[in-house]
Amino acid sequence: MLTAEQILAAQKANIETLFGLTNKAFEDVAKLVELNVTATKASLSEAHTQALLSAKDAQDLLALQAGLFQLLVEKTAAYSRHVYEIASGTGAEFGKDYEPEVADGQKTLINMVDNAAKNAPAGSEAVVAAWKSAVTAANTAVESVQKAVKQAGEVADANFNTVAATAVNATKTAPHQEALVFGA
């Protein structure tokens, strides 16, 4: 049976974890805001409009558009990569803080089941065994979900990097297609 001190300690630990995760979330929101401000400043400060206005003929304009399209794809890929890194870092941090809490909760639950089994009345062995089996199955399910989430994150990370690299490389190898996109 849990004592009042154990319950209080568990609640205190949960509150500390919640505050830590909340602070991490605010830090990462601040990083996203900073990234957006930087991206906006970069797009406003560049003199691409002036370059387009100074084009002497349609061929110059198409060449400038192709170059700007390439730059846009690269900047979009870099921006997306930064957003993804911030988001995946936040997820990893939450997972790192959450997993020990889940493990502690699982241990506490197993201890409670064991204590209940020791103090169970005679003849309740089947109920206690079923309860232990259910707790073990739940713990196994939680562990399986945690592993699946980690694997999905690794696959998503690899896929994101592949797609970003492919998009940037596609614009580098197909300069004539950009002219078609801009209606030339």
The confidence score (pLDDT) of residue 45 equals: 61
Tokens of 113: 């089941």
Contact 84, 28 (CB under 8 A): no
> What is the maximal distance between C-alpha atoms in the chain?
96
140-156 per-position pLDDT tens digit = 877 777 677 777 777 77
Compute the average pLDDT of residues 107-136: 77
Contact 16, 25 (CB under 8 A): no
82-113 per-position pLDDT tens digit = 888 888 887 777 777 777 777 777 777 777 77
Count of CB atoms within 10 A of residue 114's CB?
A: 13
State the residue for tokens 């309740």. Answer: 124
- Rg value, the chain, Cα: 28
With 70 as the cut, is the pLDDT of residue 32 above it?
Answer: yes
Distance CA 136, CA 159 (A): 34
Distance CA 157, CA 151 (A): 10
| Closest to 79 (Cα-Cα) out of 31, 27, 26 | 31
Which segment of 88-92, 120-124, 157-161 scores lowest on mean pLDDT?
Answer: 157-161
pTM for the complete prediction? 0.52
Contact 55, 61 (CB under 8 A): yes
